[in-house]
Amino acid sequence: MSILIPFEKDLDKASPNRNIAPLTTEIDSEERLCVGGVSLSSLAKQYGTPLYVLDELTIRKSCKEYCDSLKKHYPGKSTALYASKANSSLVLSSIIASEGMGIDVVSEGELITAIKGGVPSNKIVFHGNNKSISELRLAYDNDVIIVLDNQYDIKQLANIVKPGERKARLIVRFTPGIECHTHEYIKTGMIDSKFGFNADELESIFIQFKKIEWGNIIGLHAHIGSQIFEVQPHRDLADVMVKILEVGRNYGHPIDILNVGGGLGIKYTSSDDPPSINSWVKVVSESLYEACENRSQKLPLLMCEPGRSIVGTAGLTIYSVGSKKEIPGIKTYLAVDGGMSDNPRPITYQSKYSTCLADRPLLSGNKRVTIAGKHCESGDVLLNDVLIPDCNGGEILVVFGTGAYNSSMSSNYNRIPKPASVIVSKSNADLVQRRECPEDILRNDILPDRFIAKD
């Protein structure tokens, strides 16, 4: 099983998104799997399971690779933002801030987490296709850049910014009509997307904003999808965006930011072969530069918003193996103590993952099993038909690549408490999110007096 390309000197091959496992993954003298110098089975003992584990070095390496590659390949100014929908927490906000990146948020909760984690508000971009008035007010009051997604945003903001007050800084999101070969549910750049204006509405927005006093259009945004392995869509996107940039500037708008979204894929299984962060940035930068040259446009500040490729392969989840159900001649289910509430991606997108046993990582699989979750749903399966060594209850099973869109998409389905999260680095583990307890599950329930049984 090849989960890691170890100690790779070639920048492109060593790109964190091209390894299934975190970059610090090792096997210790007792043949146990370790990340950040800590054995995963010892983490299970100390913090319980299921447990989300994040490798700090892999996250920082991804951030550095985006920032360094932008400097190397784009001759203008650039800002890499972390799309915090992938995984939002104080510790991640703090790492992002310390790496000099900005953050993209889509709710009051993500915005507060970014600010409290130390991200400067001038490096925060606020998205959303149905922002509430309080979210818009919070964003405006903190002077974060607001992404205009629709006319409703414009109507709401007109009531928030009072005459004579500081103008809102605005980026207009549009759907560029570029298709990507990715799962249908995560395509967002197509014409029928719920996000953003249609490209053919933009001229009328530019005309509308000539009369608007409360905000300046300072940028354009488009995002074409997620878990993308092709780079051609990004070449096409640069061309479409610069065409619109020219129209907007001709109407007199001070458009100086092009935000090309995120979308770079990661390696979940050995058959995935995403481009490295460096090659993705190179294509995005060179195509934007060329498109600006072709239209004689001054280079805008290039923004990008990677989420999955910053945290995805830095994370893994450890579970305890429990019951086994053998259906002779059909399949064997091995159940773990989590499932669709801590990782809803398999049931939502049929996503694939890689796995191994924490204390027997080198033993090749001789047993074909389906790893099932513990939820009351037949589709609650984390991995289908995987080969692992024959194993019994109590062993620790590792699922790789769960750093993105797991914790952030988790739920309390079946009233199962959410797992704890730890971050590992240099043989040390720190708890960064407490495990929920049954009291947390009941915290918001209210039993009105008339329902309380009286004897």
Ligand X SMILES: Cc1ncc(COP(=O)(O)O)c(C=O)c1O
Sign of CA dihedral 90, 96, 100, 102: negative
* Residues 108, 261: Cα–Cα separation, whole Å: 20
Cα separation, 120 vs 125, whole angstroms: 11
Q: Is 253 in the site for ligand X (CB under 6 A)?
A: no
With a CB cutoff of 8 Å and minimum separation 6, the contacts of 253 are 206, 209, 216, 217, 218
Distances (CA, A) of 35 to 11, 27, 279: 21, 9, 27
Which residues share a beta bridge with 33? 27
Comparison of 308 and 375: residue with beta carbon closer to ligand X: 308
Question: How far is 105 from 98, CA to CA, in rounded Å?
Answer: 18
Of 153-161, 255-263, 334-342, 444-452, the window that binds ligand X (rule: CB under 6 A) is: 255-263
Continuous segment of H or E residues that includes residue 81: strand 78-83
| Cβ 306 to ligand X shortest distance, Å | 4
Q: How far apart are CA 174 and CA 381, in angstroms?
A: 36
Q: Which residues contact 301 (CB under 8 A, 6 or more apart)?
A: 76, 77, 78, 79, 219, 256, 257, 258
User: Which tokens hold the place of 427?
Assistant: 């043989």
Q: Binding pattern to ligand X, positions 82-121, x when CB under 6 A?
A: -x--x-----------------x-----------------
226 binds ligand X (CB under 6 A): yes
Q: Does 305 bind ligand X (CB under 6 A)?
A: yes
Which residue in 36, 128, 307, 361 binds ligand X (CB under 6 A)? 307
Interface segment toward ligand X; rule CB under 6 A; list 51-59, 238-246, 260-268, 424-432? 260-268
Task: For residue 264, give the amino acid letter.
Answer: L
Which residue, among 184, 179, 145, has the nearest Cα to 305 in the 3D structure?
145
Stretch that binds ligand X, among 68-76, 112-120, 269-277, 301-309 (CB under 6 A): 301-309
Does position 187 interact with ligand X (CB under 6 A)? The reply is no
Distance CA 455, CA 452 (A): 10
Task: Determine which residue in the list 308, 374, 375, 418 makes contact with ligand X, applying CB under 6 A.
Answer: 308
| Total site size for ligand X, rule CB under 6 A | 16
Minimum distance from residue 340 beta carbon to ligand X (Å): 20
- Least distance in angstroms from the C-beta of 214 to ligand X: 24
Instruction: Give the residue carrying structure tokens 């972390």.
Output: 82
In sequence order, the β-bridge partners of residue 301 are 257
Asked if 175 touches ligand X (CB under 6 A), the answer is no
Q: Which of 216, 224, 263 is nearest to 241 (CA)?
A: 224
Shortest distance (Å) from residue 182 CB to ligand X: 9
Q: Is 391 a catalytic residue?
A: no
Nearer to ligand X, 38 or 266 (CB): 266
Tokens at residue 187, please? 């395509």
| Residue nearer to ligand X on the CB measure, 24 or 227 | 227
Q: β-strands 215-221, 257-259: how paired?
A: parallel
- Near ligand X by CB under 6 A, which window of 291-299, 307-315, 323-331, 434-442? 307-315
> Does 262 help bind ligand X (rule: CB under 6 A)?
yes
CB of 223 to ligand X, least distance (A): 4
Cis amide bond preceding 50, omega within 30? yes
Q: Which of 128, 274, 306, 315 binds ligand X (CB under 6 A)?
A: 306
Taking contact as CB under 6 A, which single stretch among the options 250-258, 259-267, 355-363, 366-374 is the one that binds ligand X?
259-267
Among residues 63, 376, 391, 437, the one annotated as catalytic is 376
CB of 104 to ligand X, least distance (A): 6
Task: Select 33 or 237, whichever has its Cβ closest to ligand X.
Answer: 237
Q: Is 149 in the site for ligand X (CB under 6 A)?
A: no
If binding is defined by CB under 6 A, does position 223 make contact with ligand X?
yes
Q: Are 315 and 397 in contact (CB under 8 A)?
A: no
Catalytic residues: 376
Which residues are near ligand X by CB under 6 A?
83, 86, 104, 127, 188, 223, 226, 261-264, 305-309
